[in-house]
Amino acid sequence: DPMVVEACRAYLPENACRLDDRRVHLHYENALRFIRRCEAKYDLIIVDSDPFGPSEGLFTREFYGNCYNALKEDGIMVNQQGSPFYAEDAHAMQRSHKRIASTFQISRVYQAHIPTFAAGTGCLDLPAKNIIRDDLDAEAWNALNLRTRYYTTRLHKGAFYLPAFLEDMLKEVEE
């Protein structure tokens, strides 16, 4: 939709400048229908949505299966899971993680500080077909001298260390 692109250019110019990159392709359509037509096409699929309301279809076993098929053999997915601190969200997270873990060979949950979430923190599921690289080369990354306001290699490693209550919630649905 050209209006969406122009709105991005007007209100998010630092991000919208990447819309001109030849590798960027915007598909403004129903995600459920779109992903059904894709096979072994993507390295990465990111789902940033809520498991309630109009986007509930993006948290189904069918959708995860379609995403699995749309990923290349070494593809990964990132799925926003919400905050584990509220009962309704925690239940939705368990339901979603169970569906993901039964679809993908590998699924790891990590945490992130998300100020727009009421609890200030949220979880994301990182499913993969056959590999999630655990060999972060912190030395090589730090040698790039990229300064960010959020990311550090220590934070990267720490994001995958979950509190006991969260590990228990996930184990409960994985078994």
Which residues does the annotation mark as catalytic?
48
CA distance 58 to 64: 8
Structure letter (DSSP) for residue 21: S
- Distance (Å, whole) CA 168 – CA 69: 29
Report the C-alpha gap between 58 and 49 in whole angstroms: 8
H-type alpha helices, the chain:
2-11, 13-16, 31-36, 61-70, 87-103, 138-143, 153-158, 164-174
Contacts of range 155-160, beta carbons closer than 8 Å, 24 or more positions apart = 159/110, 159/111, 159/112, 160/108, 160/110
Three-class SS state of 79: strand
Which residue type, as a one-letter code, is found at position 109? V
